[in-house]
Structure 1
Amino acid sequence: MASFHLIRYAGVNAMRYMAFDRPLLRRTAGLQFWRLLGTGRGRSMSLGADLRRWALFAVWDGEPALEEFLARSPVAARWEEAEESWHVRLVPLGSRGRWGGRDPFAAGIPVSKPRTGPVAVLTRASIRPSRLVAFYRSVPDVDRELRREDGCLASIGVGEWPLARQATFSLWDGDPAIARFAYRTGAHRTVIGRVRTERWYAEELFARFIPYASRGTWDGHDPLRARRTE
């Protein structure tokens, strides 16, 4: 199983916290794969950075490993004192591509039919230096389309390295909404075509998850709460 944690700190010490957290995460039992991620100001990958808000994406041996981390890690203890935090547990549905040369979700079981319940999507890309200008020129149009997409419950651009290693984490009404945005909206469809023909990415990954057991708030509310009460 996996988890995603979005943390907004009250002051300017967030970058210092990230430096302290890395050695602690390396020593965390049951943590198979993790990335500390900065966040952007747009809903997709963007040049703007929010230096007070950071994220952790993690893959665990199982629920007990995550529970132990939340109960005992000083990293998780600091989250409880943050200005705002949102946490969600994730069941991998399937993935394609690599992150740092590996597929962290290889054990996920793909489903054979589109899912109509909420779906979380992680997209990640290592952008070739020669394609950075073309990539970032395409971002504003995609951001505008994403803001108009009713099927997108929430989305944020994140990154592990400024400019060249970017990702997005997003929540959707279901697989039909994901497909509608990916292949039927003009700007995003155009970007997908250029990514392939112009080889923008040196490495990329696309993964889908069932999101469950969310808590906290993301920009003032839990984007999954309304879905749970329908």
Structure 2
Amino acid sequence: MDTPDRDIPDTGQIVTLTFHRFDGLRARLWAFAMMGLARPAMARVPGIGFWKLCGSGTGVGFTPRPNLGVYAILATWPDADTARAALTGGGILGRYRSMASESWTVLLRPLSSRGAWSGKAPFQPQADAGEGTALAALTRATIRPSVLARFWGRVPDISGVIGSNTSTMFKIGIGEVPWLHQVTFSIWPDTASMAAFARTGPHAEAIRAVRAENWFSEELYARFAIHSDMGSWNCVSPLAPNPSCLASEPL
């Protein structure tokens, strides 16, 4: 399924986040191996800019226990047409699609970004999406080894709040390196619901601890407008008005 672009132009940088679900031992072993072996092929994908291969965590937010059945690929592209051509073509991205039992890609327009990812500023913010528009939030951090226990001690409370929040349209925790490099990604129906979560409860307490105790050696916070999506997750698009067969968490 390809959700309409909601009058968002096709020019300017597009960020894609693709989730692949792998069933069966063979497919899961292949996906795990590709975390290292796919890198040369990824670098040769036409039009690709910044990219990252990520595993995922179990639960409704993220946890230190990996989910060996779900992997993600984040990439930047010069425009939506280039992104779609690469995502629906062959090569390594086509191989991922053929090995996966289900795939879903959300195309994103960067609205704001601060911080760095692997020493780079990968996203190019553009015009605001306006009130009442679905938004995505991405947080990426490199956790200092000395505070790992304190950081992961906070995670269950934050994940539980995300999971019980009925405003969240989609949420998942992914990462490049287990325990040390973590990414949270969530989709919200509007700015107000996103802000309400960020400013209250365990999440707000964790943010204060990050600042006071210097938990992260590198961090990035980005906000995106939803451009469109392709494929399905748990048999539907998470952006659908009534995703009746969407599971409570990515499995």
TM value normalised by structure 1: 0.91
Aligned length: 225
Amino acid at match of 1:156: I
Decide which of 178, 196, 201 is 2:216's aligned counterpart.
201
Alignment gaps of 5+ in structure 1 = none
Preserved contact between residue 43 and residue 143 of structure 1 (Cα < 8 Å): yes
Q: Which has the higher strand share?
A: 1
Alpha-carbon displacement from aligned partner over 1:147-194 (angstroms, at most 9, x marks no partner): 12122111000000111110111111111111100102x211111110
Alignment gaps of 5+ in structure 2 = 1-13, 244-251
Alpha-carbon displacement from aligned partner over 1:44-68 (angstroms, at most 9, x marks no partner): 2310111121000111122232233
Task: Name the SS for the 1:202 alignment partner.
Answer: strand
Provide the residue aligned with 1:188 in structure 2: 203
Matches of 1:21 and 1:182, distance apart in 2 = 35
- The residue correspondences of 1:14-53 to structure 2 (distance < 5 A) are 14-53=31-70
Matches of 1:189 and 1:38, distance apart in 2 = 26
RMSD (Å), alpha carbons: 1.8
Matches of 1:76 and 1:120, distance apart in 2 = 23
1:157–1:197: structure 2 CA closer, same or farther, 3 Å change rule? same
Alpha-carbon displacement from aligned partner over 1:56-106 (angstroms, at most 9, x marks no partner): 01111222322332243322222433111111111111111111111111x
Alpha-carbon displacement from aligned partner over 1:25-61 (angstroms, at most 9, x marks no partner): 1112221100000000023231011112100011112
Alpha-carbon displacement from aligned partner over 1:106-152 (angstroms, at most 9, x marks no partner): x21252x8632111111100001111100000001111111121221
Task: Name the SS for the 1:219 alignment partner.
Answer: coil
- The residue correspondences of 1:45-124 to structure 2 (distance < 5 A) are 45-81=62-98, 82-105=100-123, 107-111=124-128, 115-124=131-140
Matches of 2:214 and 2:91, distance apart in 1 = 41
Matches of 1:179 and 1:47, distance apart in 2 = 26
Matches of 2:242 and 2:115, distance apart in 1 = 29
Amino acid at match of 2:176: E
Q: What's the % identity of the aligned pairs?
A: 35
Preserved contact between residue 38 and residue 92 of structure 2 (Cα < 8 Å): yes
1:17–1:101: structure 2 CA closer, same or farther, 3 Å change rule? closer
1:197 to partner: Cα distance: 0.4
